[in-house]
Amino acid sequence: MSPDILDESCVIWFGPQHVSAHGWAAKLTLVGDYIVECDPNAGYFHRSAEKCLEFRNFRQGSMILERICMMEAFLGEYPYIAAVEKIADLEVPERAKIMRTIMMEFNRIHSYQFWFGQFAGELGLFAMLLWPWVDREYSLDAFEQLTGSRHTVSYATPGGVKYDFTPKFLSKMDIALSRCRNRMPLFDDMLAGSPTFRLRAEGVGQYTAKQALKWGLSGPNIKACGIPMDLRKDDPDPNLAYDMIDWEVPTIHNEDHPGECDAFDRLHQRFKEIETSLDIIEKLLPLLPEGPIIDPKARGKANRLPEGEGYGRVEGARGITTVWLKTMEKAQTPWRAKIRGPCFASYYSLKHIVPGARFADFPAIFGSLDPYPGWWDR
């Protein structure tokens, strides 16, 4: 850009008190209605989760993790459990593996239900903000029935899970999932079928698969470009049940712009993700065997861990979520914990995606990338 354009520019802060930028702030340089420069800033949401982890024992640590992003609480807490299980070399019973996986997919569905509402609200339709959130209430009711907590479920524990599935929970989950399944055509109609939504989302915030790989995007944001990059398939966790069943990694291949994705494709990708999750739960439920939900010796083993390093990672609702733990001999707490959230990449990719867009398209772009500040500030 030539300097004389910047003479007429206007710098505007999008956050941290902005209503749709809760916990982050991007400095936008506007020329007329166009954004010529976007400078995302981190640091408004820092709660020193990594340091907190050093003062929690191995059964408490996951509860810090799930407070980072409330919408995908179980997906956020699982990498910690996986890392602890790798260090302590714990065996997880078959039943617990399947229950963890079901809960994980259920949590993913809940996270996307929340996201639909948020995205529609950012594009200005308040009805569509509240409709998915009503469905979300049913999911939360099921979580509450199982664990006693609506968001922060704390379901997994090193060596298994904490609570067994009850008939009441199964019926509540069935209600929540069937409601989700029945309302998907309606939401498809309200989002993808709405002409005004297509006007706002199509051709907005485009990037290619190559750029997405370069910026380190993951999860739905990269699958929308047509790259079937999914940890559930690529590196199935031995303590989860993804390799027990057949399922397809959902990707988008758009005829108009192959190898690229815009905000509309990213929405479509998340619809497909919900369908895949429903499919996985449906296939896993009949496989649920009888048996214990936790190895009785695991509880003792998780009290003091041997020296070692553990690295747990999981395909979260927003992308790859990992936790790295380093323990000393007979450790009660980790010596060092490192969290790698999925949203740092999607937040800082705004710097490259946003310039050239109209100011009014900015909510559509960041909404479709779904950055959550907890994941980069921790």
Partner 1 sequence: MVGSLGGYDMQFDFFTWFGGLWDWIYGILLWFWAIIKWLGIWILDIIDGIWILASIPENFMFLFRAIIMPGLIFLLLALIFTIWFTRKIWARIQDRRGPTHLGKYGGYQLFADAIKLMGKEIIIPDKAKAWLYRILPSLLLVIVLIPFAFIPWDPYWNIMGPPGAAYGDLSVSLVLVFALLTAVPVFSLLIGWVTGSKYSLIGGFRAANNQFAAEIPMVISSVGPAMLAGSLSLFSIVAAQTSIWYIVLLPINFATFMVASIASVGTFPFDAPVADSEIIFGWRTELSGIYFTVIYFAEFAEQMLYSALMVSLFLGGFNGLPFLPGIVNFIIKWLVVYFIFTVVTSSFYRLRQDQIVHLCWKYLIPLSILNVVLVMFAMAYLPWLVPLVVGG
Provide the binding-site residues for partner 1, judged by CB under 8 A.
Answer: 10, 12, 18-20, 33, 120-127, 129-131, 134, 194, 196-197, 199-200, 358-363, 367
The least distance separating partner 1 from the CB of residue 22, rounded to whole angstroms, comes to: 11
Asked whether 125 and 187 are in contact (CB, 8 A), the reply is: no
Instruction: Name the one residue in this structure whose structure tokens are 């799930």.
Output: 66
CB of 292 to partner 1, least distance (A): 42
Distance in angstroms (rounded) separating the CA atoms of residues 172 and 79 = 27
Residue whose CB is less far from partner 1, 31 or 244: 31
**327/304 Cα distance (integer angstroms):** 10
- 177 versus 364: smaller Cβ distance to partner 1: 364
Residue 182 vs 196, nearer CB to partner 1: 196
Give whichever of 80 and 197 is closer to partner 1, judged by the CB atom. 197
CB closer to partner 1 out of 127 and 255: 127
Q: Which helix (H) or strand (E) holds 283?
A: helix 263-284
Minimal distance, residue 197 CB to partner 1, in Å: 5
Amino acid identity, position 341 = G
DSSP 8-state assignment for residue 306: P
CB of 133 to partner 1, least distance (A): 9
The least distance separating partner 1 from the CB of residue 288, rounded to whole angstroms, comes to: 34
The minimum distance between CB 199 and partner 1, in angstroms, equals 6
Nearer to partner 1, 9 or 57 (CB): 9
Q: By C-alpha distance, which of 45, 5, 40, 79 is closest to 365?
A: 40
CA distances from 42 to 155, 241, 370, 371 (A): 30, 36, 15, 12
Give the nearer residue to partner 1 in terms of CB position, either 55 or 126.
126
**Position 314: which residue type?**
V
Say which residue the tokens 């903000």 belong to: 129
Angle (CA) 300 302 304, round 5°: 90
Q: How far is the CB of 121 from partner 1 (least distance, A)?
A: 7
* C-beta contacts of 253-258 below 8 A and 24+ residues apart: 253/226, 254/226, 257/206, 258/226
